[in-house]
Structure 1
Amino acid sequence: MKTLTTTKELADFCKTASDYPYVTVDTEFLRERTYYSKLCLVQLAYPSEDDDSAVLVDPLAEGMSLDPLYDLFRNENVVKVFHAARQDLEIFWVEAGVFPTPLFDTQVAAMVCNFGEQVGYETLVRKICKEGVDKTSRFTDWSRRPLTDAQKAYALADVTHLRKIYEHLAAQLKKTKRNHWVAEELQILTRPETYDIRPEDAWRRVKTRTNSAKFLAVVRELAQFREAHAQENNVPRSRVFKDDALIEMASTKPKSPSDLGSSRLLLREARKGVIADGILAAVKRGVNCPPEKMPKVDNSRDKLKVNPALADLLRVLLKSKTESAGVAAKLIASSADLDQIAAGEREVPAMTGWRFEVFGEDALKLCDGKIALAAKGQTVEVVSL
């Protein structure tokens, strides 16, 4: 197991890898104590039986630059293969402003190759490679050095098995002519806005029991302060204050440090200093927010006039179409999407791209009374009317 600890070693490996059609990539990182993930290890492999074809890259080694890796990411002649790439891509985007291209995500590919929804790496190793994965090093602190041989072997297995998984799935996609399905899904993963979290939008992730505009105005200001403080200081947002404390403060609307001191849920460190000042200022902004600038909650879905019988028929159709196509149902349409279609809405993902091919077209026909569903043995068939 070779570990690269210098920029030159990495450059030499990437130069060799650039002669191959693809390279598999994985990362190990920590995020428990920081806002942004701390990259601790990169695993790389290209298709070869050579012992040097799979390596570990130590980004924590003194003087190590990942620029050669980023150059490889930009090389459009080499496919970069990941499994469940979102967190890995976020790291590289934040670190260097780069997305690997072209990109292949085996989790996405597996969902359109009849392996179910959000299939795990271990499952693919077991089903495709006919091997198991050693889980003993799963909870490693990857920032600590030196790494043990067991930890290195565990990390390296994440890219060595991935070669066979990629080749199997790529062959399936070619056979079924579904490459464009995967390509559509991966477009979302390579959009900067997927990873650029705007503090002013952070309130939308906070779950509340009320849609009162006045209440949400305070929630918005508190969430914006927390997100900005967490980003600037690179600490988890929960270390600033947690959601339950945010909701408490939006309800009690503290005006002074003594009010913060009586909070049941606020962390002790947040009752003084910069965080306390930020909380009080955020609450004041929220309370004084003019009506025209208060948050507006989209209640359009709540007002949809859903035909429940049609929604149920659409669920049956979706199950039938996805089973016959061998694709995960949730990848095509959520329950909320089906309700929207049953209410006459058409601006849903199922009505575009490859989803329309598999389900959307027949969904429209069902809504228009042009097709019916009939049970035949253990299956449901579409009948033209």
Structure 2
Amino acid sequence: MPNTLTTTAALAEFCARAADAPYVTVDTEFLRERTYFAQLCLVQLALPGTDDSDAVLVDPLADGMSLDPLYDLFRSPDVVKVFHAARQDLEIFHVEGGVVPAPLFDTQVAAMVCGFGDQVGYETLVRRIAKASLDKSSRFTDWSRRPLSDAQKTYALADVTHLRQIYEYLSAELARTGRTHWLEEELAYLTNADNYVVDPEEAWRRLKLRSNSGRMLAIAKELAAFRERYAQERNVPRNRIVKDDALVELASTKPKSVQDLGKSRLLLRDARKGAIAEGLVAAVARGLAVPNSELPKPAPGKDRSNLNPALADLLRVLLKAKAEEANVAPKLLASSSDLDDIASGHVEGAWSHGWRHEVFGADAERLLRGEIALSAKGQKVKIVAV
């Protein structure tokens, strides 16, 4: 059975060994259905090699367990930290330990730039690269309950043992194809700690508002900020307090008293009384009191009045050709919205810099300038200099 570390001393001993390794693979098991912040229940780690003794489970729920030795390892510049689909794991470690593991390698992102498609799953990579299969029967179990079953432990450990072979394969493939810098550009966003801090003052931007009225936006901003702070302070999911559609309704109806909240069609019962109700009414009042000169403005949309449909169609053909040539999914290079922006004269976007510019953007700009044309040769689209 997998080795489970339940003391800080045992974790420190393993991390000391890991500090001399070129990389360590990492995964987590957590719960988030009933809390605002994820509850970290298990950490899986594996060192290079094929020996299962080099793979361990770390129990953060064990009495007296401190993850500080692990956080020190995460800060080491000499050890690559390998994850698959790392974002939620990174958020947990940033909240729990104030650290974003670096240097980082995300096999989902790496697989994307190696031609495996967009957001390829771990199970797919295990099957295609490690030539193995996963038992997913323990996937949705309660990871906070102790003791963990043998099936849970085996399932959890597989998430880091196969990851070693996947990492080594993808790392070599990136070097072979000269695409390592593609990955580095994509990972720059993941390793930015600002991405894991939720600012209550910006929470309103996630709402799907039905109006761009400055006053409604001001009220929605105050309501969303109240909900976010309330959820964070009590570690409760935000939608357990007030759902998004109810917040939008309140921003529109502007209730001025707790009694007015009773007229809401969408508000949860617990939000119609007590601290939540009082907080909602106070938030509406703050939104109503914002001076006209300080009302928030919606994000400016891009003007597409000059959209050239024929040019947009040509760009779609070019995108498909360049994606096939590079063996990447077209939407990784540019979205349909991006193509419409380009055909409307907007020359800024993810496609206009970095590796996307190398693969697609540069030729899109040449097409706009009339320097290239497209022709068909059999089943292939060819780029022809003009």
For normalisation by structure 2, the TM-score amounts to 0.97
Summarize the alignment of residues 203-218 of structure 1 with structure 2, pairs less than 5 Å apart.
203-218=204-219
Mapping for residues 226-241 of structure 1, pairs under 5 Å:
226-241=227-242
Moved over 6 A (4+): none
| Residue number in structure 2 paired with 1:6 | 7
Decide whether the 8 Å contact of 2:304 with 2:341 is kept in 1.
no
**Cα distance, 1:147–1:312 mapped onto 2, change above 3 Å:** same
Give the equivalent residue in structure 2 for 1:21.
22
Q: Distance in 2 between matches of 1:294 and 1:303?
A: 26
The equivalent of 2:118 in structure 1 is 117
Task: Identify the residue that residue 82 of structure 1 maps to in structure 2.
Answer: 83
Q: Name the counterpart of 2:364.
A: 363
Residue 137 of structure 1 corresponds to which residue in structure 2? 138
Q: Secondary structure at the match of 2:24?
A: strand
List gaps (5 residues or longer) in structure 2: none
How far 1:319 moved relative to its partner? 1.4
Aligned counterpart, 1:30: 31
Task: Work out the CA distance in 1 between the residues paired with 2:27 and 2:46.
Answer: 9
What is the match of residue 345 of structure 2? 344
Alignment of 1:64 with 2:65, yes or no, is yes
How big is each residue's C-alpha offset from its partner over 1:84-137, in whole Å with a ceiling of 9 and x where there is no partner?
000000111111111111100000000111100110101111111111111111
Please give the alpha-carbon distance, in whole angstroms, between the structure 2 residues aligned to 1:334 and 1:235.
35
Say yes or no: does 1:300 pair with 2:301: yes
User: Is the CA contact 2:40–2:92 (under 8 Å) kept in the aligned structure 1?
Assistant: yes
**Matched letter for residue 45 of structure 1:** A
Alpha-carbon distance in 2 for matches of 1:312, 1:205:
31
* Equivalent in the alignment of 1:380: 381
Structure 1 segment 122-271 matched on structure 2, within 5 A: 122-271=123-272
Which residues of structure 1 form unaligned runs of 5+?
none
1:304, distance to aligned residue in structure 2 (A): 4.9
Contact kept? 1:304, 1:340, Cα under 8 Å: no
1:302 CA drift (Å): 4.5
- How far apart, in 2, do the equivalents of 1:254 and 1:230 lie? 21
Amino acid across the alignment from 1:78: V
Contact (CA 8 Å) 1:220, 1:286: kept in 2 or not? yes
Alpha-carbon distance between aligned partners in 1 of 2:288 and 2:156, rounded to the nearest angstrom:
50
Alignment-derived partner of residue 290 in structure 2 = 289
Distance 1:206 1:221 in 2: 12
**Counterpart-to-counterpart distance in 2, 1:293 and 1:330:** 38
Q: Is the 8 A contact 2:304 2:340 kept in 1?
A: no
Q: RMSD across aligned C-alpha pairs, in angstroms? A: 1.2
| Residues 39-68 of structure 1: CA deviation (Å, up to 9, x unaligned) | 110000011233311110000101101111
Q: State how many pairs are aligned.
A: 385
Query: Aligned letter for 1:288?
Result: A
Tell me the secondary structure at the aligned position of residue 156 of structure 2. Answer: helix
Distance 1:275 1:334 in 2: 40
Give the alignment's TM-score, normalised by structure 1.
0.97
**Other structure's SS at 1:32 match:** coil
Q: Is the 8 A contact 2:226 2:279 kept in 1?
A: yes
Separation of aligned partners in 2, 1:164 and 1:32 = 32
Partners of 1:354 and 1:77 in 2: CA distance: 26
Change (3 A) 1:8 1:299: same
